[in-house]
Amino acid sequence: MAKLLTRAHSSFLVIAIIGLLILLATMAPTLVYAATYTGWFTGYAMGNQIGAAGVEVSQGHFANHSYGTCGDPASYWPWGTKITTAQSITLHYSNGAAYSRKKFYLEDSGDLNCSQGNYWVDIYFGRYQRFGEPCNCPGSPSNGFCINANYNSCNDAQNFGRTRRTYTGP
């Protein structure tokens, strides 16, 4: 009788452990480590169609210092790095309707003279221009690539100005 109970308990114990391991494996949260940074934020619009990462720059992208420059630790972040701002930033669709976002992806570089300090972020506000208006925005390469729309993205970039903000990133 003692052997029978031991075998039954052993089988049950093995099955219970396997079941528990499967349950833990399926429920295990993915750990994501993020640091918090504070730096100068600026905005740009229009400009080149293709950013430094080799992809078309669009709303939701940002620029920081070129790889390994300015003594900025953020300049080592790989293309596509996501940041999340503490406060939403307002942008506009081509029809002029406003929307807010907090997540931005690194797809461009700038500030060649390193004047913006470490952890600088340059938010891309888009390439929308009103019909008949020039395709340029102060601080961006002239004769950039634009899309005719009912809104001018340069307004957002200029109104955004330069401000210190906090965000999370890698």
pLDDT in tens, 75-91: 999 999 999 999 999 99
What size, in residues, is the chain?
170
Question: Quick one: average pLDDT of 102-127?
Answer: 96
Handedness of CA 107, 160, 75, 85 (dihedral sign): negative
Rounded Cα distance, 125 and 58, in Å = 8
Instruction: Supply the mean pLDDT for the chain.
Output: 87
More confident residue, 136 or 165: 165
> Residues 6 or more apart from 94 whose CB is under 8 A from it?
128, 147, 149, 150, 151
Q: Where are the domains of the chain?
A: 1-31, 35-169
Q: Which of the residue ranges 80-89, 90-99, 101-110, 136-145 would you say has the lowest mean pLDDT?
A: 136-145
pLDDT tens-digit series, residues 37-71: 999 999 999 989 999 999 999 999 999 999 999 99
Return the CATH fold of 35-169. Barwin-like endoglucanases (2.40.40)
pLDDT tens-digit series, residues 3-19: 555 655 666 656 756 65
pLDDT value, residue 40: 98
Handedness of CA 47, 113, 36, 77 (dihedral sign): positive
Write the CA distances from 168 to 21, 39, 126, integer angstroms.
Answer: 33, 11, 23
pLDDT value, residue 31: 45
pLDDT value, residue 19: 57
Rounded Cα distance, 88 and 108, in Å = 21
pLDDT above 90 for 25? no
Rounded Cα distance, 103 and 130, in Å = 26
Predicted TM-score (pTM) of the model is 0.79
